[in-house]
A and B are shown apart, each in its own frame.
Chain A
């Protein structure tokens, strides 16, 4: 046994030494010269990029496989899609690597990320960069019309992650079952009174659940200003009082009387398809069209938004501070940002994920690509999608989740 403790102690001391050396020299991300994109492309040739991205949707997996074929042909890069169930796993992996003092040769090259996870990685200096503005295709990004490409849940992006796609909260209903969907949170409450047990929302703190809570809060408060400041500066109890009042009324009318919740938007799609519930939600405005195309939803399902506008955000690609194949990761990211890849992604027959590019900045031929995209049967036009509500300050997420859990999950 003594031997084992000796081993254990050695390990601890190694770890302590690492921790000290880490604090002595902060993570430097400036190993690469920014301007020389040519050199980056050259260095990338022959590299294998491990792209850690959510792997729960066959259509997205197929899209990434397509991108892999393209970059392999054009840039000599191998793409390995590490299909994860939850990107926080990957955050934990990068954290473990930092804990063990691995400053290079990290096992994650590129990750699909946003929101809280991005903020956690930024705060803990787990990201490489700034680098996204080195990409030639970054010039087409819609920095004006889509401010969320610069502020990820109100956290400054600082060129540490490259925009990949846009998201906006939309709701879905089956037009064969109901005629008029409720276009506000208060209307939803009335709807629930008419159809008890047929309304629900995903369980916080899962991403989609928190989104629903934030949407409700934004609709119910009189003054939204405090929501865009750090939560510590606001009178949390006073600001959120109307939300809890609303939820207290809604829960008894919900599916399973609000004692049980679906795990996320995908489960709600299932329940909508079966008729367990009447209203589904998604962060991808094209989700319903896509689900109709592949048979998951009946072709009578339609999408709608609330009159007051709905939450919108952007999802991004980031490179960990110690990635082994940073060059290939950047080249891949640049390809995924290209008008061609973005247009292919926006096609409802492929994935239907809205672009982050500004169409009017594109060359004529590329504008044409977007113009030719078919509109899905359940997809709303940009006018119908209406106003995008920016995400509240990121600090509200956890505060709301904790308050929700303390009220409804104890």
Chain B
């Protein structure tokens, strides 16, 4: 009996007709076991994929249905194009669209090229080395806190002007000009790119650990190429494909960003995401319909910009190939090197100054204009915050720690399953695209659907629900940041380990995953920071009952008390900074006796 059952199953699994002669029974059974084992790989991945995809679909559904006029709770039960017409006719939509496109395209390109230039011209410089070690602190400043700090520092009434007035500037009052909020969104693009350079550098460092960096530089030099030329012709063309997905994250963030755009972006009209945010918060709930159409439009814009980037990347690589064929050795450019090293210092100093100005404000009682420092000091803001932050702090830690860890395990399993079996290659793309939706759609319209699903299941308002919501955003970031290094892993090392140990598990646990430890740590830190920064998902899925550092900080920011905002911003910065620092330190410490495992091949 058993034999026939196994045969039947085997036939089905191997897709062989009944007449086909199967191998001897023992072999068939072994084949069955191994193929079931193969399927087992998929179980956790599929399960979690389902867990993530159902809410994404719910979110998408509740973006698409209202976009076409369906919203029964508001008494709209007929599909129509009306929301799209309302969207076109709403004041300021076209300029808002232009601002969104321009600021996103400009900021992502600026950030990328700045990061690439830094790598190419300042790789060996002390500035970049310092930046690398302190990248943690630069990266962990939350976007909104970064913008607020930048204004506290550089606004017409900011610290810099205070320090220089009136003895140098002669100003008794702050000047009436301002560099933020130009109608084209240039200042928005600039601030966004400042915040994205560290992210792209971080991703580049993680990807570079998988490239034969030293060997390439040595070989290139021996052929008489300048370092910068080796970077441009050999290393960057290999690096760019690995940065594709991080670029998608940068573009998606730029298109959908609201808080930063309110602070430094134009306001009449604002960028499209801000405009939609306003409609979604409009007391007249019918504005949700055109806002949903607008959300789909934002999605289109992201896709458009990302395809644009893919084409540009292809063109760049073609140009670089042409240049490489010419064999021009290039010469060291002192000026470029100096300038870029200086810009790396600039970025570092700027971040430090932002943290410092927040620290000073957080202890200020009264700090009038012109005074270089507060005229009276107090600890009151820290003490008051302590009343309100103990529980949110704990929630933040728990949610960020768990979601980063669960997300990482899942993403690694998925990527490994993909490499082992090329599983489901056919539907990987649509699946991945779905997983990325939470990053691209404006959160408010998307989360309405997720919230609706949770209410339906009666799960909202619980920590587990919020964890789930955070995973929706953490997992795509992990996929974005880890796929590159994971897919570019030198599979020969794994095969060698498999040959020697005879066990997949051992080959993975003792060779492949330790070799990937550095990217794992990097992305874990990013995932942690992503979870810490979640605002709307925490709010919506926690039904307001799960307060985190970020929800408290956003509420506080709406009141505009700079001193309280500084306290909350510093707390928001401290947690991810700690984790980033730990995750940079851990691989360095674990591999301190293995020089080849260090990033630049030296201990």
Known interface pairs A101-B456, A259-B183; A55-B552 also in contact (CB < 8 Å): yes
A261 interface hit (Cβ, 8 Å): yes
The count of residues in chain B whose C-beta lies closer than 8 Å to any C-beta of chain A is: 77
| B540 close to chain A: CB less than 8 A | yes
- Given the complex, which residues of A lie within 8 Å of B561, measured CB to CB? 56-58, 266, 296
Whether A58 pairs with B384 at a CB distance below 8 angstroms is yes
- How far, in whole Å, are A295 and B375 apart by their CA atoms in the complex? 10
24 inter-chain pairs at a CB distance below 8 angstroms, sorted by A residue, are A1-B427, A11-B58, A15-B72, A16-B72, A19-B77, A50-B545, A55-B555, A61-B388, A65-B387, A80-B545, A83-B547, A85-B554, A85-B555, A92-B448, A93-B544, A116-B284, A256-B178, A260-B178, A263-B560, A264-B558, A270-B560, A274-B368, A275-B173, A398-B284
Q: Which residues of chain A come closer than 8 Å to B54, judged between CB atoms?
A: 4, 7
Binds A, one of B22-30, B33-41, B260-268: B260-268
Q: Nearest Cβ distance between residue B86 and chain A, in whole angstroms?
A: 11
Is A84 in the interface zone, CB < 8 Å from B?
yes
Smallest CB-CB separation from B450: which chain A residue?
Answer: A96
For chain A, the count of residues having a C-beta within 8 Å of the partner chain is 82
Chain B residues whose CB sits within 8 angstroms of the CB of A227 once the complex forms: none
Whether A198 lies near B555 (C-beta < 8 A) is no
Is residue B95 contacting chain A, with contact meaning CB distance below 8 A?
Answer: yes
Give, as a whole number of angstroms, the nearest-CB distance from B286 to chain A.
Answer: 9
How close is B394's CB to chain A, nearest CB, in angstroms?
A: 15
Chain A residue, CB-CB nearest to B384: A58
| Interface positions of A from 95 to 127, Cβ below 8 Å from B | 95-102, 105, 107-108, 115-117, 119-120, 124
Q: B449-490 vs A: 1/0 string, CB under 8 Å?
A: 001110110101100000000000000000000000000000
Inter-chain contact B183/A82, CB cutoff 8 Å: no
Q: A275-B172, A298-B366 are in contact. List 7 more A-B contacts (CB 8 A).
A: A83-B552, A83-B556, A84-B555, A86-B558, A91-B283, A124-B285, A266-B558
CA distance A50 to B544 in the complex (A): 9
> In the complex, what residues of A have CB within 8 A of residue B552's CB?
55, 83
A324 to B208, CA, bound (A): 54
B 31-74 to A, binary, CB cutoff 8 A, 1 in contact else 0: 00000000000000000001001100110010000000001111
Provide the residues of chain A in CB contact with B77, threshold 8 Å: 19
Across the interface, name the chain A residue whose C-beta is closest to B543.
A107
A residues near B58, Cβ cutoff 8 Å: 8, 11
Which residue of chain B has the shortest Cβ distance to A3 in the bound complex? Answer: B50
Chain B residues with CB under 8 A of A275: 157, 172-174, 369
Contact of B539 among A4, A19, A89, A398 (CB under 8 A): A89
Nearest CB of A to B127, in Å: 34
Contact of A85 among B178, B269, B558 (CB under 8 A): B558
Q: Note all chain A residues with C-beta closer than 8 A to B555.
A: 54-56, 83-85
Q: Report if B282 contacts A (CB, 8 A).
A: yes
- Residue among B183, B262, B384 with the highest chain A CB neighbour number at 10 A: B384
Query: In the complex the two chains form, is B540's CB within 8 Å of A93's CB?
Result: yes
**Bound complex: CA A285 to CA B167 (Å):** 37
Whether the Cβ atoms of B267 and A107 lie closer than 8 Å is no
Contact with A along B77-100 (1 / 0, CB 8 A): 100000000000001101100000
Which of A16, A92, A98, A263 neighbours the largest number of chain B CB atoms within 10 Å of its CB?
A92
A346 → chain B closest CB, angstroms: 20
B-chain residues with CB within 8 Å of residue A74 when the two chains form the complex? none
Q: Nearest Cβ in chain B — how far from A302, in angstroms?
A: 16
Q: What are the 6 closest A-B residue pairs judged by CB atoms, nearest first? A: A56-B559, A266-B560, A116-B283, A197-B176, A107-B543, A55-B555
Expressed in whole angstroms, the minimum distance between the Cβ of B508 and any Cβ of chain A is 30
Q: Beta-carbon contacts of A72-91 to B below 8 Å, as 1s and 0s?
A: 00000000101111101111
- Cβ–Cβ contact A58 & B544, under 8 A: no
B132 within 8 A of A: no
Question: Is there a chain B Cβ closer than 8 Å to A12's Cβ?
Answer: yes
Q: State the Cβ distance, A204 to closest chain B Cβ, in Å.
A: 10
A residues less than 8 Å from B539 (CB atoms): 84, 89
Asked if B427 contacts A88 (CB within 8 A), the reply is no
Closest A residue to B461 by beta carbon equals A107
Q: Knowing A100-B452, A261-B268, A276-B156 touch, does A406 contact B91 (C-beta < 8 A)?
A: yes
Chain B residues near A102 (CB, 8 Å)?
A: 455, 458
Q: Report whether B176 and A263 are in contact in the complex, using a CB–CB cutoff of 8 Å.
A: no
Q: Which residue of B lies closest to A177 (CB)?
A: B173
B156-180 contacts to A, CB under 8 A, are: 156-157, 172-174, 176, 178
Q: Which residues of A contact B278 (CB under 8 A)?
A: 205
Nearest-CB residue, chain B, relative to A261: B267
Q: Is the CB of A98 within 8 A of B73?
A: yes
Asked if B432 is at the interface (CB within 8 A of a chain A CB), the reply is: no
- A318 interface hit (Cβ, 8 Å): no
The answer to whether A295 touches B378, judged by C-beta atoms less than 8 angstroms apart, is yes
The residues of A that contact B381 with a CB separation of less than 8 Å are 58
Query: Contact mask B406-438 → A, CB, 8 Å, 1/0?
Result: 000000000000000000000100100000000
Determine if B267 and A405 form an interchain contact, defined as CB atoms under 8 angstroms apart. no
For A48, give the chain B residue with the smallest CB separation.
Answer: B545
Cβ-neighbour of B176 out of A116, A255, A409 (below 8 A)? A255
| Interface assignment of A273: CB less than 8 Å from any CB of chain B | yes
Check if A409 sits within 8 Å of B92, measured CB to CB.
Answer: yes
| A52 within 8 A of partner (CB) | yes
Complex CA gap A14/B61 in Å reads 13
A16 to B91, CA, bound (A): 34
B198 nearest CB across to chain A (Å): 27
Select B451's contact among A1, A93, A295, A405, beta carbons within 8 Å. Answer: A93
Task: Flag if A117 contacts B283 (CB, 8 Å).
Answer: yes
Q: How far is the CB of A20 from chain B (nearest CB, A)?
A: 9
The reply on A385 being an interface residue by CB < 8 A is no
Chain B residues with Cβ under 8 A from A19's Cβ? 72-73, 77
A28 within 8 A of B: no
A55 nearest CB across to chain B (Å): 4
- A62 CB-CB contact with B under 8 Å: yes
* Chain B min CB distance to A106 (Å): 9
- Does B245 count as interface, using CB distance less than 8 angstroms? no
Contact check, A55 vs B452: say whether CB atoms are below 8 A apart.
no
What's the nearest-Cβ distance from chain A to residue B121, in Å? 37
Cα A200 to Cα B269 in complex, Å, equals 17
Which residues of B have CB within 8 Å of A116? 283-284
Determine if A14 and B176 form an interchain contact, defined as CB atoms under 8 angstroms apart: no
Instruction: Give the Cβ gap from B184 to chain A, nearest Cβ, in Å.
Output: 12
A400 CB within 8 Å of chain B: no
Q: How far is the CA of A56 from the CA of B564 in the complex (A)?
A: 9
B279: nearest residue on chain A (CB-CB)? A205
- Indicate with 1 or 0, residue by residue over B365-379, a CB within 8 angstroms of chain A CB atoms: 110110000001010
Q: In the complex, are the beta carbons of B283 and A115 less than 8 A apart?
A: yes
A97 and B455 form a contact (CB under 8 A): yes
| Interface membership of A267, Cβ < 8 A | yes
* Chain B residues positioned under 8 Å from A198 (CB to CB): 176
Query: Does A56 contact B178, Cβ atoms closer than 8 Å?
Result: no
Measured between beta carbons, the chain A residues less than 8 angstroms from B92 are 405, 409-410
> Which residues on A sit within 8 Å (CB–CB) of B94?
410
Which listed residue (A98, A124, A295) contacts B376, Cβ 8 A? Answer: A295
Q: Which residues of B contact A50 (CB under 8 A)?
A: 544-545
Task: With A19-B73, A266-B561 as known contacts, state yes or no: A82 contacts B547, CB within 8 Å.
Answer: yes
User: In the docked arrangement, what's the CA distance between A90 and B283, Å?
Assistant: 11
**Chain B contacts of A119 at CB under 8 A?**
283
